Structures are given as C-alpha cells and as structure tokens.
Amino acid sequence: MQLGLSCMEEIYDVGGKLDVAITLKDELARTKSGRIYVDDFCRQQKINVVKVKNVNDADAIDAIKQHQLDWLFIIGWSQIAKSEVLSAPKQGVLGMHPTLLPVGRGQAAIPWAILRSLKETGVTLFQLDEGVDTGPIIAQERLPLAANETATTLYQRVADAHRTLIRRVWPELEAGRVQAIPQEEQHASVWEGRKPADGEIRSTMSVSEVERLVRATTKPYPGAFCVNGDTVIRIWQGKVSTSQQPVEPGSRRLHFADGSYDALHYDVEPAI
C-alpha cells in the first residue's frame, strides 16, 4: 500500500536505510484498494526485494534472518504475522494502524472513521504481538476529522501522519531508547472488514447515511453505488439537496424518504 511506501521514503528522508523490502508477488491483490509496487524505489535505493505470497512464508522469514534485522516494519499488509516472524528480528516488529488504538482494531479504518462520524482519529505506531492490533503503543499522531472529510482526504492525511511518526521515532529507534506502553483494554473496540458490496446505496437509507457512505468509500476505495435497472451508478462525490433546488447539469438526483442527494461525479457501468 501507499502507506508502506510513504514510510520507506520517510526513513530515507531522515537519513536511515533499509536492508530488505518484503512485498507481495506482483500478481497478487492487483484489485486491492491502494495496492502499489515498491520496485522503482527499491531499485533507486539499492534495496534487496523479496516477493512472497504471505508474510509468514519461509522466504520471508529466511530474508529477515539472513539480513539480521534489528527491527522489522510491517505496514500495509492485511495478513497477520505469526510467532516465527515476530521473533525473527533482534528487537521486534513494528506496525502502523490508522486509528488511535486500542479504538478501531481490525480493518477498513479510514471508511469506518467517516461512517461513524468520529470527531477525531489518528495513526498508531506499535509493537506487534500475536494478537490483532493489540501490541504496546510506541507513539500516536492525532487527526481531527472535518465535517466534509472524505476517504481521499483522510487517506492522504493518514499517509502524512505515517511519515510524521517515522520522523519522530526514528532517532529513538537508532539509539535503542524505544519505550512501548500497553494498550488500555477497557477502551478497546474492533471494526469489521468491508467489502465492495458494502458500498451499495439502498432506498431504505436516510439521506445523511448516503452522504456519509459516499464520502467514506470514494477513491482510493471502490465507491458507493446504486443499481438502476441494468446499470450501476458509482458515485464519487455529491451533496445533500432539496427538491426545490435545481439539478446541476450533468448530475443525478436520488430520492430517499427524508430528502434528496445529488450525485455530482459518478460513473455509469453495466450491471453484472
């Protein structure tokens, strides 16, 4: 994911270096939201690249041990590292999660922050353990959410926060002064994963639910959509409207029990 590449770039911007980059094989997860390739960056920085099907594969573990890594960063992976990976580096394994842990463990953190109308979210740098996003916290960056926040804007702010945390913590990592604080379990919550089908706009929704869904699932995610006969309208941007307001040229007005929503930027696709 772009978030992982952002961290790699920041490590070099602060004068650090990486011994090896482990990434998915090129043919895997091509349609996954945010999938990017690190080959060009690694070529420029002369970083050895190992491509695997799973972070727990023997090739990945061998590469970690061969390079005698002090720290391993696992960022942007949806796979859970098992004990053999977690114990392979000398100091440990670090991850980033785009919520203020222990809130929002799990998946789809950026869409859920918008769908839940949070006033604030953030990014957490933490040490991985055998749980899912349960390891001790090293540092956090807080991000207030605007009322009109979209997945596009929040994704970029989350990427910037990843860079900020790397920049802030890197001197401590190099000096061996990293301190991790256990998460407060009484405040923990788990957010479920989301599928492209979860972006469907239904006639039973309120107009405010539709407005949030469009903002939460816009690019780089698959988008909110409604089925209209043999076509699918995939909406990237829109606004709540009233029946008294004129429809802007090129837009589509959707009607719900409590109001109307104007799709301003959208694609029309054949229904499968």
3-state secondary structure of 252: strand
| Per-residue DSSP letter, 245 | S
Q: What pLDDT, on the 0 to 100 scale, is given for residue 13?
A: 96
Q: Which domains does the chain have, with CATH numbers?
A: 2-191 (3.40.50.170), 196-270 (3.10.25.10)
Q: What pLDDT, on the 0 to 100 scale, is given for residue 165?
A: 97
Q: What pLDDT, on the 0 to 100 scale, is given for residue 228?
A: 87
Q: What pLDDT, on the 0 to 100 scale, is given for residue 31?
A: 62
Mean pLDDT of the chain: 94
Alpha-carbon distance of 81 to 46, in angstroms, equals: 26
The tens digit of pLDDT for each residue in 120-179 reads 999 999 999 999 999 999 999 999 999 999 999 999 999 999 999 999 999 999 998 999
The tens digit of pLDDT for each residue in 9-38 reads 999 999 999 999 999 998 886 666 566 789
The tens digit of pLDDT for each residue in 233-262 reads 999 999 999 877 888 889 999 999 999 999
Alpha-carbon distance of 21 to 75, in angstroms, equals: 11
